[in-house]
Amino acid sequence: MAQKRIIIAAENATQPVNNVKVVAADNERADILFEPAAGAGNYYVYYMPYKNEGRSNYPKGVYLKHAETATADWLRQTLLKKHLQKR
């Protein structure tokens, strides 16, 4: 699971959250930090999202690879960078 992309989206948002940091993830649990850009409310976590490749009569689901979306400024502002270096 650590090599798969994780997407977080606010309940009423049209775009996913930009600042997301997966601290640790395995088959049973994940520690995920994110900036709640839309404020307080419900957020949804999509783990192991995929896209369909191939023909319509013979589709092939391919998991999206992990992508680091947390900006250095956000990590610095939240002091996460220092915390993560200790791990």
Q: pLDDT tens track of the chain, all 87 residues?
A: 557 889 999 998 889 999 998 888 888 888 888 999 898 999 999 988 888 888 888 889 888 998 889 998 898 887 666 666 666
- Complete DSSP assignment for 46-69: EES-EEEEEETTEEEEEEPBP---
Q: Give the integer Cα–Cα distance in Å for 85 and 87.
A: 5
Tokens 């600042």 identify what position? 19
Q: DSSP code of 81? A: H
Domain ranges across the chain = 6-85
Which ranges in the chain belong to alpha helices (H)?
72-77, 80-85
